[in-house]
Amino acid sequence: MKRTKINLLLERDAGLEDVLVNGWVRTRRDAKTFSFIEINDGSALKNIQVIADATLPNYDDIRKLSTGSAVAIRGVLAPSQGGGQKWEIQAKQVEIISLAPESYPLQKKRHTDEFLRTIAHLRPRTNKYGAAFRIRSELSYAVHHYFRERGFRYIHTPILTGSDCEGAGEMFRVTTMDLAAVPVIDKHTDYSADFFGTEANLTVSGQLSAEMFALSLGDVYTFGPTFRAENSNTRRHAAEFWMIEPEMAFCDLEGNMDLGEDLIKHLIGFIMDHCPDDLELFARFVDKKLRGTLDNIVNSSFVRLPYREAIAILEKSGRKFTYPVSFGLDLQTEHERFLTEQHFKKPVILYDYPKSIKPFYMRVNDDQETVAAMDILVPSIGEIIGGSQREERLAVVEARMNEMNMEKEPYWWYLESRMYGSVPHSGFGLGFERLLMLITGISNIRDVIPFPRTPGSIDF
């Protein structure tokens, strides 16, 4: 007999004479002539209650069922005789697939996130983490759904890259060389002996590759893992995370901002519509203000503010900031928080940043002083999107690379895209985990990634 998942049983209108449910025991309560067993199979937040009567042949064993044990229950789906749930299963057969010993670490009470991180292989069996990872799955689907509906193509950009200067971030080196005996020529590593015959790293962004496909297929996006070897020890950073990077041909900065705002609103709305139970858990137990935060984002127009005006607002605010504010300096966390949490109290899109603090590929504005960059900042999380209109003029992008003392040779292919049919185009990167943090109210990025990788930590 094929098993039926609990989420489908719980939403039924009518009972069933014979069903099979497989899952894990969350708790067992014994009455005089029968036991209540609550089963969860991960398909939903809710458990299903099983009534196991003392007349069952293996009732003695059933009475020993411990939290975490795996079972197969066959029985009747019937209206519950007690309050608290609509349906229950009156068991005709209880097969114990495996009995969890008393050392099972998850108890029927609240655990701290810090403890659960030490048992990351078991934590998805808890209500909170089960809900978080169901939402993560739905959110991934929603990303693909959103772009597909709008004619975007999904591009698998490389994870291994030969460039060591894609971005400012530190990169993870990829090598097959024996690190105890690295070949050296003139005190420098001889990468010609390595697997690719040159230095190789893990990607920090699929953007440059995605641009090539935007200039071919029109509107494209990437959605995959990204790696940063920064020694960042914060609740918002991980060494391995997922990023969504749309790239649009024939699109300027305004169109880019439109997409970023619409994407965020749509994805949040999708989860509100499709994961009400899981979201409710976070609104009740993790962040009491979550509903208000999400409603505010979905219903408000994001503020669009040139960097120059943001500086003026900060200067006039009368606030004493730890870090200085003036044109040419990047905004610090305290400044971003002031703008989104105090001044506007909603998401803010900052754009037209000084070119001196932004990378070579961003399009230089007519003022020659700023570039067509945009960051979307949200309350509590901070920067969730960073993007720009790309510099499509060959001479300008080459001049920028010269200014920054960049070696142009590795980018020959990137520069050729500006020689052959170059067009205005734009894109951005959206931090998938940061969006998940925003949607769930989970405050640590390590808790929205199945097995998080951070400096000094690669267990599981």
- Beta-carbon contacts of residue 208 (< 8 Å; ≥ 6 apart): 166, 361, 411, 414
- Residue span binding RNA (CB under 7 A) among the ranges 7-15, 145-153, 190-198, 229-237: 229-237
Answer for the pair 378, 297: CB distance below 8 angstroms, yes or no. yes
**Cβ–Cβ contacts within 10 Å for residue 219, how many?**
20
In the set 167, 218, 306, 354, which binds RNA (CB under 7 A)?
Answer: 167
In the set 107, 192, 198, 342, which binds RNA (CB under 7 A)?
Answer: 107
- Residue span binding RNA (CB under 7 A) among the ranges 84-92, 211-219, 298-306, 307-315: 84-92
Q: 142: phi > 0 → left, psi -120 to 50 → alpha, else beta; which?
A: alpha
b/e map 316-325, b = 16+ CB within 10 Å: eeeeeeeeeb
In the set 311, 362, 445, 448, which binds RNA (CB under 7 A)?
Answer: 445
Give the x-and-dash track for 425-444 against RNA (CB under 7 A): ----xxx-xx--------xx
3-class SS at 350? strand
Rounded to an integer, what distance in angstroms lies between the CA atom of residue 73 and that of residue 95? 6
Report the nearest approach of RNA to the CB of residue 162 (Å).
20
Q: 328: phi > 0 → left, psi -120 to 50 → alpha, else beta; which?
A: left
- Residue span binding RNA (CB under 7 A) among the ranges 143-151, 269-277, 376-384, 395-403: 376-384
> Using CA of residue 164, residue 165, residue 166, residue 170, what is the dihedral sign?
positive
In the set 5, 42, 46, 66, which binds RNA (CB under 7 A)?
Answer: 66
HEC assignment per residue over 371-415 = EEEEEEEECCCEEEEEEEEECCCHHHHHHHHHHCCCCCHHHHHHH
User: For residue 266, which phi and psi values (nearest 5 degrees)?
Assistant: -65, -45
In the set 334, 341, 369, 398, which binds RNA (CB under 7 A)?
Answer: 334
Report the nearest approach of RNA to the CB of residue 364 (Å).
19
Report the nearest approach of RNA to the CB of residue 265 (Å).
16
169 near RNA, judged by CB under 7 A = yes
Q: Which is nearer to RNA, 102 or 178 (CB)?
A: 102
Give the x-and-dash track for 110-149 against RNA (CB under 7 A): xxx-xx-x--------------------------------
**Which residues from 186-205 bind RNA, rule CB under 7 A?**
205
Report the nearest approach of RNA to the CB of residue 193 (Å).
29
- Residue span binding RNA (CB under 7 A) among the ranges 91-99, 310-318, 362-370, 384-392: 384-392
Kindly calculate the radius of gyration of the chain based on its CA atoms and give it in whole angstroms.
27
Tell me the two tokens of residue 213.
């496909």
3-class SS at 181? coil
**Which residues from 261-320 bind RNA, rule CB under 7 A?**
none
Most distant CA pair in the chain, distance? 85
Tokens 């999904």, residue? Answer: 154
In the set 230, 277, 309, 315, which binds RNA (CB under 7 A)?
Answer: 230
Residues that bind RNA (CB under 7 A): 27, 29-32, 36, 38, 49, 51, 64, 66-67, 80-85, 88, 90, 102, 105, 107-112, 114-115, 117, 167-169, 205, 228, 230-239, 241, 243, 323, 330, 332-334, 337, 382-386, 429-431, 433-434, 443-446, 456-457
